[in-house]
Amino acid sequence: MAAPDEPAVTGPRGSVGELCDTMRLSRAHVIAGSVLFFTFVIEAWEQVGLIYVSTPIADEFGVGKTELGWSLSAVAFGMVPGALLWGVVIDRLGRRRVTVFSLLLYSALALAAGLSPAFWPFLVLRFLSGMAFGGVYSVTFPYFLELLPTRWRGQGAVALSIGFPVGTLLCIAVSQTLGAVSWRAVAIVAALAGLWALAVLRWVPESPYWLADRGRHDEAASVLRRLGGSVAPGTRFAVDETKRRGNVRALFRGGIRHRFLLLLLVSFTFSWGYWGLQTWLPVLLQGRGMSGTDAVWFVAVTQVVSVPGYLLAAWLTRRHGRKRVFLWFAFASAAGGVLFGVATGSGQMYAGNLVLAFFSLGAWGIWNTWSGEVLPTSLRGLGYAWVTSAILLANTVSVPVIGAMMDHGVASSLTIGSIMAFLVVALVAVLPLPETEGRALD
């Protein structure tokens, strides 16, 4: 039930954003957030799902590090065109349908990949499962942002981001148990997690922003009431009818173009800077004398350390805004990466990587929120899909490039230094973007 002091939105001038400015956090928000949180856990799990059983995969299929790198990044590679294809329909079919369809299709293809008898079918099916997964990867954060009260968007989306370390930790736990049986068992468990789509269908409503934008005002009002808002009967929400919904060309026009291109640049460079190191971290640690098992558990510790990084980012962003806190955290994560790269002893190596994990993932929590708020509702799904594609493209290309650098004997300090250079570019490119803390979504 809505609080009695919350004003009802009436008449043609009322917008969904205005109502979300006054809405309080409700039980329905918590339930929807919990379901989408586990959806993001699945996303994180799938991205790192086979990294920790990569050696048995290489042994069974008889491939080297470069081929292995392509197979590990095949899902991310598939998500690049997948996100773009799903992006065309996110603003047309709706956030909920895309999430459900994408998860179910991914589950079927990932299961087939886990049962593949040879390397090339395995690689192709991983790529196709990534294309299917591109929908849920693109839509989760915009979807959640459009369900939340304005003042809770920052904290809510950063909290959702904690699904990444949780997914990584679950993946490590499964790989260290079922991996002893077979890498295929790990792949099959990850594929079956896609059935979580049924939970989304049951407990997460469609975005009221999207419903209003499509002229489905009664349904938008019903969702807002379910979320705890007070909406008068017969309300017709204000919608900008001049905006072209889900149109790619609209992203490259007027003031939208400048912001959109900056979103792409920051997403690509920041993702390369983080993911390029994260994917090969166990191998880099082993190259510095750490055993394979110790390296995996060290990665697990860094994921645990990242959780307070997320929480600190959520607390700070409400007080200091998205831009300032992102800059602080991205700069600190780059410093941690440099310390890890030049470390001459285990103490410096551990400290550098822990600093990198704490601040880089906190920065990712902010970016997941901020990048979903910059574009208007009519282009948010499509634009965020392109942003996601930029992230995934960096993930895809960085893994085999860094693998090739290691194959050719490039010093680890130079490898890590090249990775950190991308973080520096992200720091500069983010400066012109507008602050969105405390502002209603367009």
Per-residue pLDDT of 289-310, as tens digits, reads: 665 566 666 767 777 878 888 8
Give the model confidence (pLDDT) of 163-178 as tens digits: 888 888 888 788 878 8
The pLDDT score that the predictor gives to residue 216 is 92
Domain assignment present for 367: yes
Residue at 70 is within a domain: yes
Considering the entire predicted model, what is its pTM? 0.80
Name, in order, each residue with C-beta under 8 angstroms of 109's C-beta and a sequence gap of 6 or more: 125, 128, 129, 132
| Residue range 11-35: mean pLDDT, rounded | 85
**Count of structural domains, the chain:** 1
Quote the domain boundaries for residue 138: 16-429
284-296 as b/e: b if 16+ CB within 10 A: bbeeeebeeeebb
In a domain, 441, yes or no: no
* Burial category of 96 from C-beta neighbours within 10 Å (exposed 0-12, middle 13-18, buried 19 and up): middle
> What are the backbone angles phi and psi of residue 157, rounded to the nearest 5°?
-70, -35
CATH code assigned at 278: 1.20.1250.20
3-state DSSP assignment of residue 334: helix
The answer to whether residue 436 sits within a structural domain is: no
Q: Give residue 412's pLDDT.
A: 64
Nearest CA among 329, 333, 331 for reference residue 311: 329
What DSSP state is assigned to residue 24? P
- The token duo for 120 is 């090339």
CA 57, CA 44: separation in Å to the nearest integer? Answer: 20
Examine residue 244 and state whether it is found in any structural domain, yes or no: yes
Is residue 330 packed enough to be buried (19+ CB in 10 Å), middle (13-18) or exposed (0-12)? buried
Of the candidates 43, 148, 62, 103, which has an alpha carbon nearest to the alpha carbon of residue 391?
43
Residue 192 is predicted with a pLDDT of: 92
Confirm if 269 and 423 have CB atoms less than 8 A apart. Answer: yes
- State the Cα–Cα distance between residues 211 and 286, nearest whole angstrom: 51
Read off the pLDDT of each residue in 39-45 and give the average, rounded to a whole number.
Answer: 85
**Rounded Cα–Cα distance for residues 103 and 133 (Å):** 6
Distance, CA of 117 to CA of 190 (rounded, Å):
18
Q: What percent of the chain has pLDDT over 70?
A: 88
Does the residue 442 lie in any domain? Answer: no
Indicate whether 279 pLDDT > 70: no
Q: What pLDDT band is residue 245 in, cutting at 50, 70 and 90? A: low
Q: Which stretch of 37-46, 114-123, 193-202, 412-421 has the lowest confidence by average pLDDT?
A: 412-421
Residue 355 lies in a domain: yes
